[in-house]
A and B are shown apart, each in its own frame.
Chain A
Amino acid sequence: MPDKEDKQMSEKHDHGEHKAAPMVEEVSDFEILEMAVRELAIEKGLFSAEDHRRWTEYVHSLGPLPAARLVAKAWLDPEYKKLAVADGVKASLAVGVDWIKSPPTGFGTPSDYCNLRVLEDTPKLKHVVVCTLCSCYPRPILGQSPEWYRTPNYRRRLVRWPRQVLAEFGLQLSPDIEIRVADSNQKTRYMVLPVRPAGTEGWSEDKLAEIVTRDCLIGVAVPKPGVTSNAKRPIHPAVHPVHHHH
């Protein structure tokens, strides 16, 4: 049985040289096809092995921290909050995300476009995000989408039974509050700017960002002092997992 280090080494080499096979015992039909497609695309000059490696590295660089910092900055600076709501792409620059130029393309990521809208919650308005048609998600500022977000189940139900779905996520809101489901069905990508909770007076930007979890940025949770990670859920293991650390 190959040890973890060997497997990670072979994964690194897979991205650069398309000949290497993973040193594992069983290979699935999907893994076979994945190699076949990538090798053919490279052989035919459609993209290079270097392109593929660069994209994989770019994906590894993504996560929810920039979005959390955008929220923390907005909480601390009313002018920045106005900018974030008016122009999410411009506001993203302040947290190191250039929607147009950060990705290797120089014209944005193909799937995520360049139109971030920051949805500002108020005490009377709670946003929650879904893409009913597929699973569009603001990857450049939030990283990869969680599995549950991609399920037909979430996509079917959130837009019609938001209170029930949010209750399943542990969030129950007063009936008079407007719950607004934002369905990102075109080129806009959404993130939620939650209400700053009580008990955070005098906090630094870093400390505030810590309580803005990915779940808060999608809208299925609200920030709470002392809560710095997403709610615990079952994790379906991968057979040959990537080692992300989000």
Chain B
Amino acid sequence: MSSKNSRPELMRHFDLVGQLQPAYHRAEHAPYPDTIDHAQYRALLRSAHDVGGEPDVPITWEEKEEEVWELNTFATCECLAWRGVWCAEERRRRHNVDFGQTQYLALPYYGRWLLGAARILVDKQYVTLTELINKIDEVKKRHDNKASSR
């Protein structure tokens, strides 16, 4: 497909990706490959962060107070890059595309930053998933204990 002729296809692409939304529904899962055409293949492989030009509705523009955990997460992510665990572009790829379409739109902005930081530790084998699970459990119990001791 030459670059020049792709504009109308791109317009159809936008219509199609607009239909990819987080949803609970009963659809056919793991479809037969011969039922996927070029347009659907493109839609399924698209980088989820590539939203420029998609239709959306007017909303009330809001500010938001930052949570302590959000600032901590931001600092964690920058420190991980500062100390060479990942570079910023790896981070963006993981945060903005690797989650896939549903989690990308359904998770809070800093939720993706946080999960991405957890994931890089495991992916690069700095911690095992077992260690992460156990640490989460330990932190949870620490707070359950505090709550119950009041």
Interface membership of A59, Cβ < 8 A: yes
Give Cα A160–Cα B11 distance, bound, in whole angstroms: 13
CA A160 – CA B10 in complex, angstroms? 14
- Contacting pair B83 A37 (CB below 8 A): no
CA distance A33 to B122 in the complex (A): 14
10 contacts between A and B (CB under 8 A): A30-B114, A52-B76, A55-B78, A59-B74, A110-B91, A152-B105, A153-B56, A238-B65, A242-B65, A242-B68
Interface size on B, residues (CB 8 A): 67
A130 neighbours in B (Cβ, 8 Å): 52
Question: Whole-angstrom distance from the CB of B115 to the nearest CB of chain A?
Answer: 7
The docked-state distance in angstroms from the alpha carbon of A147 to that of B70 is 12
How many angstroms from the CA of A47 to the CA of B75 in the assembled complex? 11
| B66 beta carbon closer than 8 Å to chain A | yes
| Nearest CB in chain A to that of B71: its residue | A242
Interface size in chain A (residues, C-beta < 8 A): 69
Min CB distance, A14 to chain B, in Å?
A: 7
Across-interface contacts of B105 in A (CB, < 8 A) = 152
Cβ–Cβ contact A133 & B49, under 8 A: yes
Most B C-beta atoms less than 10 A away, residue of A11, A59, A133: A133
Q: Which of A1-35 contact B (CB under 8 A)?
A: 11, 14-15, 21-22, 25-28, 30-35
Q: Does A224 contact B (CB under 8 A)?
A: no
Q: Are B50's CB and A133's CB within 8 A?
A: yes
When chains A and B are docked, how far (Å) is the Cα of A40 from the Cα of B50? 32
7 A-B pairs besides A33-B136, A40-B121 with CB distance below 8 A are A25-B147, A34-B76, A36-B138, A111-B81, A133-B96, A146-B63, A233-B63
Closest chain A residue, CB of each to CB of B127 = A40
Cβ of B40 < 8 Å from any Cβ of A? no
Determine if B4 is an interface residue (Cβ-Cβ < 8 Å).
no
Q: Mark A41-58, 1 if CB is under 8 A from B, else 0.
A: 100101100011001100
Among B62, B115, B150, the residue within 8 A (CB) of A236 is B62
